[in-house]
Structure 1
Amino acid sequence: MLATYLIGLREGLEAGLVVGILVAYLAKLGRRDLLGRLWIGIGLAIAVALGIGALLTWGPYAMTFQAQEILGGVLSIIAVAMVTWMTFWMGTHGAALSKELRSSVDAAIDRSWFALVVLGAVAVGREGIETALFVWANAAGGSDPLFATLGAVLGILTAVVISWGISRGLVRFNLGRFFTWTGLFLIFVAAGVLAYGVGDLQEASVIPGWGTSAYSLVAIVPPGSWYGTVLAGIFNFTPEPTWAQVFAWVAYVAITVPLYLLMLRRRSLARAAAVPPAAAVAPAPAAGAPAAAVPVAPGPGTARTEPAAVDAT
């Protein structure tokens, strides 16, 4: 439930930021009359995400066992690919997200009335489909489907409240740090989903090696223990993985984590390079000369006239 809650919270905040930028820009342009089209697109995106979730939940029951396992394995791998891509995309494009969305709005207004509907659907639908796939894959890997779905819904509702609070200036926190740490957490969640997907493909005889465990941790982490249930629900942990599952998990983490940390380092260096160097200390004024104005940092009682920029990465 914790994993799906964080998935819903993160993806919901991403969607909330996108919607907030689009709505604020239309208001700034004085085109509130176009908000209805935008909300139609957002509603379509939500409906598609819910439809995909329902199809994944009830659709496979009419399939054979082998077909279900193949579908589960393939969709788990697709979900991992989507989450990984979105994590890196937000890390590299988040700072320019507002500019890109505003440009998209300008282009949509110049085209046709339906273009804004499509923009709203695409902007939010990406997070919605990704959430539906990843929540389903996480639940199929061992979490109780009801609790997994409940966790995702609570995460999305929390994101809606936070997004509303941010838009009203009632909530302020470091979004960049939030996305950084949840991105790292989701990498390990995705590694477990990938291992689960490989196991599904092995059960369907698409990948050989099913039934031969690489090692056994049953004595340390019994499947029925509370901590075994927690690990299985969050990270799709299994105490007796196959060699293919171990290889997939280790390879994914060994490749993705260093690349993610390298991306964070490059982003940090780029920000540091963009900060103007501190002004040199001016020499003391001559006797009788007027003192130069010294900029004073705003104190607790000083009002700020310029709103702080929100880092969405």
Structure 2
Amino acid sequence: MFIAFLIMLREGIEAALIVGIVAGFLKQSGHSRLMPKVWLGVVLAALMCLALGYGIHRETGEIPQKQQELVVGIIGLVAVAMISYMILWMQKAARSMKQHVQQSVQAALNRGNGHGWALVGMAFLAVAREGLESVFFLIAVFQQSPSWRMPAGAVLGLAAAVLIGTLIYQGGIRINLAKFFRWTGVFLIVVAAGLLAGSLRALHEAGVWNHFQDTAFHAAHILHEDSPLGVILGGFFGYSDHPSRGEVGAWLLYLIPMLFWFLRSSKPLPAR
């Protein structure tokens, strides 16, 4: 539940920041009448992401087990790639995000009669990007740890993101975005490493990946994967009490470089 909450909280706040910057700029420039266009883009993107997520989840459950494992593995790899890009992009773009978004809005306003639809497109793309990342990541995590707590956590995370985004826009709250994105980034990198290992496990079950399958170690005597804590760690980080050498290798080869790159280039951002 917590991991779904955190994913939607982070992704939701990113989308809320962009929409909030657009809304604030329109308000300051006397174009508040165009806000319905922005909300239209937000709603269209949200509906598209919900439909896509539901469609993928439904179709995955209706195919044979072996092919289902293949789909699970592919979705996991796509999710790892998307979340990695999101983390690194956000780290790089956060500094100039406000200026870039405001310049894009101003350019849209300068186009004349078509600026309303340009704003729809901006809001749609902002929400769709974060929404698609969330869809793939949540589906991949949910397939590793199916439980009603996952969708419940996602809904709570999205609600919290909307509330925080609203308070930021209205000036009712100031948060240190640098620390927020830094620590959630670290956590999601660890989650993505476990997801990558789990994806290799699924591809092996599908008969696609059969290399380095000898067991790296046995840890059931320390923490069984079916124990309450083992289930939680499995859902969060892809924990297994008997991982293969390929899974351990993939976990380390992803985690160490990503953490090093992320932490080395992280620099403080001003609080909002």
TM range (shorter): over 0.9
What displacement does 1:67 show? 2.2
The count of residues paired between Structure 1 and Structure 2 equals 269
Check the 8 A contact 1:209/1:242 in 2, yes or no. no
Aligned: 1:127 with 2:135: no
What displacement does 1:56 show? 2.2
Aligned: 1:139 with 2:146: no
* Distance in 1 (alpha carbons) for counterparts of 2:196 and 2:52: 20
Whichever residue aligns with residue 46 of structure 2, its letter is: I
Any gaps of 5 or more consecutive residues in structure 2? none
Match of 2:104 in 1: 104
Question: SS in structure 2 opposite 1:145?
Answer: coil
What displacement does 1:145 show? 3.3
Larger radius of gyration: 1
Whichever residue aligns with residue 173 of structure 1, its letter is: I
Alpha carbons of structure 1 residues 149 and 210: separation in structure 2 relative to 1, 3 Å: farther
* Correspondence list, 1:240-251, <5 A: 240-251=242-253
Identity of aligned residues (%): 35
Check the 8 A contact 2:224/2:241 in 1, yes or no. yes
Match of 1:114 in 2: 117
What displacement does 1:195 show? 0.8
Check the 8 A contact 2:216/2:244 in 1, yes or no. yes
Question: SS in structure 1 opposite 2:148?
Answer: helix
Match of 1:32 in 2: 32
The equivalent position to 1:226 in structure 2, one of 223, 228, 238, is 228
Query: C-alpha root-mean-square deviation of aligned residues, in Å?
Result: 1.7
What displacement does 1:210 show? 8.2
Check the 8 A contact 1:8/1:155 in 2, yes or no. yes
Q: What does the per-residue CA deviation read over 1:249-286, in whole Å, with 9 as the maximum and x for residues that have no partner?
A: 0100121111111111xx35xx8xxxxxxxxxxxxxxx
* Distance in 1 (alpha carbons) for counterparts of 2:271 and 2:189: 24
What displacement does 1:209 show? 4.1
The equivalent position to 1:168 in structure 2, one of 167, 170, 175, is 170
Match of 1:88 in 2: 88
Match of 1:57 in 2: 57
What displacement does 1:227 show? 1.1
* Distance in 1 (alpha carbons) for counterparts of 2:142 and 2:215: 23
The equivalent position to 2:204 in structure 1, one of 196, 202, 205, is 202
* Distance in 1 (alpha carbons) for counterparts of 2:234 and 2:141: 9
What displacement does 1:62 show? 2.8
Check the 8 A contact 1:199/1:210 in 2, yes or no. no
Check the 8 A contact 2:38/2:120 in 1, yes or no. yes
Match of 1:284 in 2: none
Aligned: 1:257 with 2:235: no
What displacement does 1:92 show? 1.0
Q: What does the per-residue CA deviation read over 1:198-234, in whole Å, with 9 as the maximum and x for residues that have no partner?
A: 1111111111148642221111111232211211121
Match of 2:160 in 1: 158
Match of 1:305 in 2: none
What displacement does 1:33 show? 1.9
What displacement does 1:39 show? 0.9
Match of 1:66 in 2: 66
* Distance in 2 (alpha carbons) for counterparts of 1:156 and 1:59: 25
Once structures 1 and 2 are overlaid, which stretch shifts more, 113-122 or 127-136? 113-122
* Distance in 2 (alpha carbons) for counterparts of 1:122 and 1:161: 21
* Distance in 1 (alpha carbons) for counterparts of 2:58 and 2:212: 26
* Distance in 2 (alpha carbons) for counterparts of 1:109 and 1:222: 59
Q: What does the per-residue CA deviation read over 1:111-163, in whole Å, with 9 as the maximum and x for residues that have no partner?
A: 4232221111101111111111111111111x233111111111111111111
What displacement does 1:37 show? 1.2
Whichever residue aligns with residue 178 of structure 1, its letter is: F
* Distance in 1 (alpha carbons) for counterparts of 2:121 and 2:34: 13
Alpha carbons of structure 1 residues 215 and 84: separation in structure 2 relative to 1, 3 Å: same
Match of 2:241 in 1: 239
* Distance in 2 (alpha carbons) for counterparts of 1:216 and 1:90: 38
Check the 8 A contact 1:184/1:257 in 2, yes or no. yes
